[in-house]
Homo-oligomer: A and B are copies of this chain.
Amino acid sequence: MEVAPIPGEEPWSAGAIGNAEWSGALLTEVLQAAGVYPEVRHVAFTGLDEIEMGDQSFGFGGSIPVEKAMSPEVLLAYEMNGEPLTPGHGFPLRVVAPGYIGARSVKWLANIRVQEEPSSNYYQTHAYKLFPPQVDEETADWSKGLMLGELSVNSVICQPADEEALPAGPVSVRGYAVTGGDRSVERVDVSIDGGESWMSADLLEEKGPWAWRLWEASVDLDPGEYELVARAWDSAANTQPELSEQIWNFKGYMENSWHRVRVRAR
């Protein structure tokens, strides 16, 4: 599906996602030790990096709601997969806020503030916002727009690859599915005819909450061309939209329309 291009952003397509095992201090214990006053609604983080923008220089920042910050899964992490963080992953200390967009897991953590409003950092108030389809970069009112937070439900076909030529016969279709907050992926549907008909994929071993859920479906392909499609459902029965054009926004965020892969069996 060709839709209007997204200006000035790198198309990450179905990539820029991974799973790791994180170790660190529980943010909730740090906050409880420091004390949180009753009016606090958000916990804001700022990094040590220095971003130049116009004549200003500041650290990357963002915030999460205090209820999330007080949940035991949010870490001040100093290890990734049992090793100290590498510089690229935020050494010496970073936030890990599972179920939220990656931008809230601030790296090279410099400070933590408890406050009544969301972070006033550019990356909270400006960058990661979802606008309606009738709004573009020129007309955006930056005081509005949905501040991205929890992830929407999404799924991706990893195998076979788009445009792949395969031997006819049985084919294993595999991929991942994710959702945000404390929701779980409850179902993945797979189609070999562009979404006309569906079968249920097998959900593979659960890696735990907030990790992706791998899935697999076995299909039998006669020689010909196929459009493979996947869509996931979360535990509240939300599912992915059929077409990109139904969710187009000028920043290109939260693109979770049905994932499609064209293959030829011969």
Contact = CB atoms under 8 A, between A and B. Distances in A.
Contacts of A24: none
Interface residues of A, number: 38
Main secondary structure of the interface of A (DSSP, over half): loop
Nearest to A100: B236
A146 B242 contact: no
B198 A134 contact: yes
Contact of A153 (B200, B238, B254): B238
Given A198-B133, A199-B134, A254 B241 contact: no
Nearest to A253: B237
Number of copies: 2
A146 B187 contact: yes
Interface string A46-82: 0000000000000000000001000000000000000
A183 interface: yes
Contacts of A197: 133-134
Interface in A165-199: 179-183, 186-187, 189, 197-199
A146 B198 contact: no
B242 A181 contact: no
A247 interface: yes
A237 B130 contact: yes
A98 interface: no
Interface in A130-155: 130, 132-134, 146, 148-153
A42 to B, nearest CB: 14
Contacts of A32: none
A243 to B, nearest CB: 8
Nearest to A145: B187
A181 B234 CA distance: 12
A235 interface: yes
Contacts of A242: 241-243, 246
Nearest to A231: B246
Interface string A24-48: 0000000000000000000000000
9 contacts: A130-B233, A130-B237, A132-B198, A133-B198, A149-B235, A152-B236, A234-B238, A239-B247, A242-B242
Given A132-B198, A146-B187, A242-B243, 7 more contacts: A130-B237, A134-B197, A146-B233, A181-B181, A181-B183, A234-B238, A237-B254
